[in-house]
Chains A and B, each alone.
Chain A
Amino acid sequence: MLLISAAVLASITRARRGRQLYLRAIPGFSAVDEAAGRATEMGRPVLFSVGLGGVDSITVLTGMTVMQHVGRICARMGARCIVPIDGPSAYPLAQEVMREVWESEGRPESFRADDVKYLTGGQFAWAMAVMGLMTRERVASAFYFGYYGAESLMLAETGYQVGAVQVAGTPDLYQAPFFVVACDYTVFGEEFYAASAYLSREPTMVGSLVGQDLGKMLLLGIAVAGVVLATLVHAGLISANPLVPLLSQ
């Protein structure tokens, strides 16, 4: 953990010193601008959901960085952005982020505070409320960036039924298959955590991403070394020593 943290911090430092770092394209993020723009053309609102959880959830905080980006496009183009919130502690934060976005785009009067809604804290009650919202408002684009449970497919299917372009991002794998099936673009696993770096391209964020990759290579190296040593021990070619149990734990 310390090594990976050191790699991340070192990469951030390098990036801040002006070094240009390469990021491969992720279709899900490239589609964010396009999907938000589509809503403006059609005169229908955008729906942005940060998933389940409150402000203590890292997925909600990450989702909000994407929400800010989408909100900025909506504010610039004059489209509504509806944000249904599940966790009560996330509601004031979401309100504040969207208000600041509209103000920074010079359209404070266009900001509709009621578009950021705390619906309910119950998972399925929230899901039903969002499904109703999507159907009544006939959203043109739907973004799902956060942690979702079983309601993921319900939301995605409803979005499909109303004809919305859907972009989903979730860090865990449980619901990723449902999003992949029903949404136009999906981002999952570590790509979700890379959202803020991709959308902002700020040196700190990009540097952190590169550090993550270094960390993964380190983990891969350790895993390969462990596999090789364990195989050799199993084959009786070398004797088990303190290093092998340490690597295999």
Chain B
Amino acid sequence: MTPRRIIATVTFLAGLFYFLEYMLPARIAGVTVPLSQWRVGLGNFMAVLGAFAIGMGWFHLLRGQWRNLVTGQDRSSSIGFFCALAAILYFGFRNELEGAKAPAWVHMGFDLTFNYVFMPLVATVFSLLAFYIVSAAYRAFRIRTWEATLLMGAAFIVMLGQVPVGGWLTAWVPVKWLQLPYLGAWLLGVPNSAAQRAIGFGAAVGALAISLRIWLNLERGAFFSTEGK
């Protein structure tokens, strides 16, 4: 049996298990279907596989950064990488394993690396998005066609309707459903909902088709066999 054939067989059996386990009732004609009792064990097995995958990534990262350090290419970044790695591993493990028994400086080190460096860094990077949105909006939103104009109008209504200032700006409008919050909610709940459903249908069918191809070993290209090979 070739490796590809083994992979295809394992893929098919794994997919078949979950498909049958989901579709079949717990009991058929008084007989318990035994598939469900395997679910927990299989789930734990896949979690362990995931942990191995993290190990693979670590190995490549360490190897690449070590090479940079040794060859002198971008050495400062690699030094920063190893220092941060060592700090967060040391404080993280000691804080977790020793808990309350760890000395105060270990808790402080963990707080510093995780709560006062890592978390603010992530939040800061995410907040860059606000600035990028402003520059992208100013640069790209142009009413070149009538569809773009329609889109612009809808965007204005929803954008201002979602914040309190939209309600404040149109509080004087006597017809309630013409006020920005209500108009925005209608746009989101009706036309947007219909469009999302339509695109969702297509994407779901596409995902079903590609899953079917992988499950039945019909996928071609890249890491799968090409037609007739």
Measuring CB to CB, which residues of chain A are less than 8 angstroms from any residue of chain B?
1, 4-5, 8-9, 12, 54-56, 58, 61-62, 64-65, 67-69, 87-89, 91-93, 96-97, 114, 117-122, 124-125, 127-128, 150, 153-154, 156-157, 171-173, 178, 181-182, 188-190, 192-194, 196, 199-200, 202-205, 208-209, 211-212, 215-216, 219-220
Contacts and interface: CB of A to CB of B under 8 A. Distances in A.
A107 B88 CA distance: 42
A153 B129 CA distance: 7
B125 to A, nearest CB: 4
B226 A202 contact: yes
Interface in B21-74: 50, 53-58, 60-61, 64
Given A9-B216, A12-B218, 15 more contacts: A1-B208, A56-B50, A64-B223, A68-B222, A87-B53, A88-B58, A172-B203, A173-B199, A178-B133, A189-B199, A192-B203, A196-B210, A196-B222, A208-B218, A212-B205
Nearest to A62: B210
Category for how many chain B residues contact A = 35 or more
Contacts of B207: 58, 171, 193
Interface string B195-229: 01001011101111111111010111111001100
B140 interface: yes
Contact of B201 (A9, A118, A128, A216): A216
Given A54-B53, A157-B135, A173-B199, A68 B206 contact: no
Interface of B: 50, 53-58, 60-61, 64, 121-122, 125-126, 128-129, 132-133, 135-137, 140-141, 196, 199, 201-203, 205-214, 216, 218-223, 226-227
21 contacts: A1-B208, A5-B212, A8-B208, A56-B50, A58-B207, A58-B214, A61-B222, A64-B223, A88-B54, A93-B223, A97-B223, A119-B61, A128-B125, A150-B126, A171-B207, A193-B207, A202-B226, A208-B212, A215-B209, A216-B202, A220-B201
> Top 4 nearest A-B pairs by Cβ distance?
A88-B57, A193-B206, A89-B53, A190-B202
Contacts of A194: 206
Given A173-B196, A190-B205, A8 B136 contact: no
A22 to B, nearest CB: 17
A211 to B, nearest CB: 6
A212 B196 CA distance: 18
Contacts of A91: 56-57, 60
Given A4-B208, A93-B223, A172-B203, A118 B57 contact: yes
Per DSSP, are chain B's interface residues mostly helix, strand or loop, or mixed? helix
Contacts of B227: 202-204
Contact of A61 (B122, B129, B212, B214): B214
A156 to B, nearest CB: 8
Contact of B221 (A56, A172, A202): A202
Contacts of A203: 227
Given A88-B54, A91-B56, A172-B203, A181 B136 contact: yes
Nearest to B52: A89
B220 A204 contact: yes
Contacts of A61: 210, 214, 222
A157 B223 contact: no
Interface of A is mostly: helix
Given A96-B223, A189-B203, A204-B218, A9 B212 contact: yes
B58 A219 contact: no
A154 B226 contact: no
B206 A212 contact: yes
A130 to B, nearest CB: 12
A68 B221 contact: yes
Contacts of A215: 205, 208-209
B205 A64 contact: no
Contacts of B206: 171, 189-190, 192-194, 212
